Structure 1
């Protein structure tokens, strides 16, 4: 056990001291070849089943089309940009609960782990540049739970990702700051992609990754991704994990409106924003906590 004082990680059980130091300083860390290829291929096949309408989406899963391709002849994998909130899909939960991945999460946020938000993101070819790119942003902007130090994202490349097909880029050390206001940047046409303006002059680092490579990052870290300029796809799996006893807070009306719209489309007209987040989350490890307490808002 390290004798150093750490703010952004919890222990050395699954991280070396060098790895903890890197995450503490930079707000992210990449693990090469972490996720088994067979698991990723299984997840890809599940995604294709969603794309082809072969899977019932249930209460929570959202299948999202690429905005710029909706009125074209694109179908299936060539049209779908994302499936979201698949915590209760038994196939995709294999990634969420994958032990080598959750072990690292545990050393960052502690032994009680809940999957709060999940996405399989696909950048199809022929998407417009300003739809495909995701501007610089902080994920904490979207979450009604705190503290930030008890939240971490995993992001796994399902195929090679680089500058050509829209890899992630990060601003190292930016997790040490505060949550900034998010707006729609100029020329970004995706309504789900808000960003932080005025930071274009600050250098970023591109995360070129091979299949199975995984980056973990803090929810205040400024990050984004470029457009897919190739004729292939760019797929990645991403999950945001929170400690089971995170505290829920009130959020801005803008955030509340978007999430409640999705809740209503799934048959929950009276649900509150926080209850919706609790209901779609899923415990992964440890003792139940605030995420699992639904009674307080019923």
Structure 2
């Protein structure tokens, strides 16, 4: 009899998969997250309300060190950069600064095998899945370096929304990861953001006064909004919605401030024509850069499709080059 009662009690206790199914069937409505397979209800609630969430010590140090070493190889000219976008600090271009002391960002490293390990890092992609769904494409990648001795206006990134740069929608199926590669605080230029601003709309972006770094557009006239600083330790990672107003301060130290980031989109996001819209200026700027590199006939959506890479799930619109806007 005791054995029978024990067996029945075990049968009546739902296992993990049943609990997940019950959670998915919750009557609570979520707009900005998909499920709680990899997020708790509390984490989903925080993201829904604030548009961001921080996970401490998420990314392995060995992986971050490998990414840093790869970045230094690019800085030192040891790796072919034909597929990359290399950006230099405008205030240091006419000094004797070289390599790591001059380059402030590399972009579009989806097809670098070393750096893509960060993009495909499973614990991070799991969290992304619970935010945007299981079909995941890496749409944009950056390793951001704030070198010392830079002027404040070229070291900072003004308040902006990432959706400004993207010709794909909907915004709820896009999310950024941003990982500190070393200690980041107010002294060397940590991120700051406006909680809850993801509930608004896309705003007009332009170059703020004295900002000359290419494509460092910002939203003007919102300096009065209260912001939250995000000091982080190495490996800490923040995920945030593409409409969240955010930026970063200047590096006022004699050291570096490195972070690595990826923007993920649901593979079936659809592309929109941004010509003549608030995004017209960034489209023109990027197409001008493409033309200068010998690609005069590419379209804005084609650029984003070419540099994207599927991370998980099934191919979709990002992998379809026959589609027309």
TM-score, normalised with respect to structure 2: 0.89
Structure 2 residue 50 is matched with structure 1 residue 14: no
Hey, what's the Cα distance between the residues in 1 that align with 2:42 and 2:102?
42
What is aligned with 2:128?
A: 105
What is aligned with 1:43?
A: 67
Structure 2 residue 273 is matched with structure 1 residue 250: yes
Matching of residues 38-77 of structure 1 within 5 Å: 38-59=62-83, 61-77=84-100
Hey, what's the Cα distance between the residues in 1 that align with 2:302 and 2:169?
15
Structure 2 residue 156 is matched with structure 1 residue 133: yes
For residues 42-63 of structure 1, the C-alpha deviation after alignment (integer angstroms, 9 at most, x for no partner) is: 000000000011111233x111
Hey, what's the Cα distance between the residues in 2 that align with 1:30 and 1:139?
18
Hey, what's the Cα distance between the residues in 2 that align with 1:251 and 1:56?
32
Question: Which segment drifts farther, 180-189 or 89-98?
Answer: 180-189
What is aligned with 2:9?
A: none
Deviation at 1:65, TM superposition (A): 0.8
Q: Please list every run of at least 4 consecutive aligned residues from structure 1 whose deviation after the TM superposition is greater than 6 angstroms.
A: none
Within the candidate set 197, 201, 223, 1:200 is matched to 223
Structure 2 residue 266 is matched with structure 1 residue 240: no
Within the candidate set 290, 293, 307, 1:263 is matched to 290
In structure 1, stretches of 5+ residues that fail to align are none
Within the candidate set 51, 67, 78, 1:27 is matched to 51
What is aligned with 1:92?
A: 115
What is aligned with 2:29?
A: 5
Equivalent residue of 1:295, what SS? Answer: coil
Structure 2 residue 165 is matched with structure 1 residue 167: no
In structure 2, stretches of 5+ residues that fail to align are 1-22
What is aligned with 1:292?
A: 319
Structure 2 residue 212 is matched with structure 1 residue 185: no
TM-score, normalised with respect to structure 1: 0.97
Hey, what's the Cα distance between the residues in 2 that align with 1:186 and 1:138?
18
Hey, what's the Cα distance between the residues in 2 that align with 1:119 and 1:110?
22
